[in-house]
Amino acid sequence: SKKDYRKFKIKTVVGANDYASMKEVVNRRYSRMLTENPEDLPQLIVIDGGKGQLNFAWQALCELGIQDKLTVVGLAERMEEIIRINAPYPLFLDRNSQAFRVVTHIRDEAHRFGITFHRDLRSKAQIHSALHDIPGVGEKTEQRLLMHFGSVARIAAASVDDIAALVGPALAKRVHDALCGDI
């Protein structure tokens, strides 16, 4: 159900911390569901990860007070085992079973969706130039400057008069001042 897919940018976790990130996302997702449509809570949540990720997701659900309203399992990739809260042993599905195929398909689709999202974020970050942050410089002005000078470094090295020939004196001064402070 692609309409139910959600993307999250991690807001409160500093650095790479899978467990805390999992807790933040689960908390944000299900707290929003509780405020918007509490009757739409799922019966099953499949967490992509082992005991650590599952425990942090469980903590988030406990903080929201909904741990008794649904079942949560973790799918550990290495052994393809299903981990349950408070269960001493993992559950192993027959690799030829329909259940195994469904669970691994869910996990693979979550990976595909997440990886695509993060690739897009990285691409946007690489494309962003210092010109974006200058008030008055829009997309067309940025393109005109880059086409003429070739790079942000060359724009910064140019004189105000050279820049003004393309964008006018007031904006040229703003561009020059902003870039000379950055480079």
Chain centroid, CA 59 distance in Å: 21
Q: Is the pTM of this model over 0.75?
A: no
Interval 102-129 mean pLDDT: 82
Task: Give the pLDDT band (50/70/90) at residue 21.
Answer: very high
Task: Give the pLDDT band (50/70/90) at residue 127.
Answer: low
User: Could you tell me where the beta strands, DSSP code E, fall in 26-159?
Assistant: 44-48, 71-76, 81-84, 91-92
Residue 19 class from Cβ within 10 Å (0-12 exposed, 13-18 middle, 19+ buried)?
A: middle
Tens digit of pLDDT for each residue in 143-162? 888 888 888 888 988 899 99
Task: Give the pLDDT band (50/70/90) at residue 31.
Answer: very high
pLDDT at 109: 92
Percent of the chain with pLDDT over 90: 48
CB 147 within 8 A of CB 138: no
For residue 7, the one-letter residue type is K
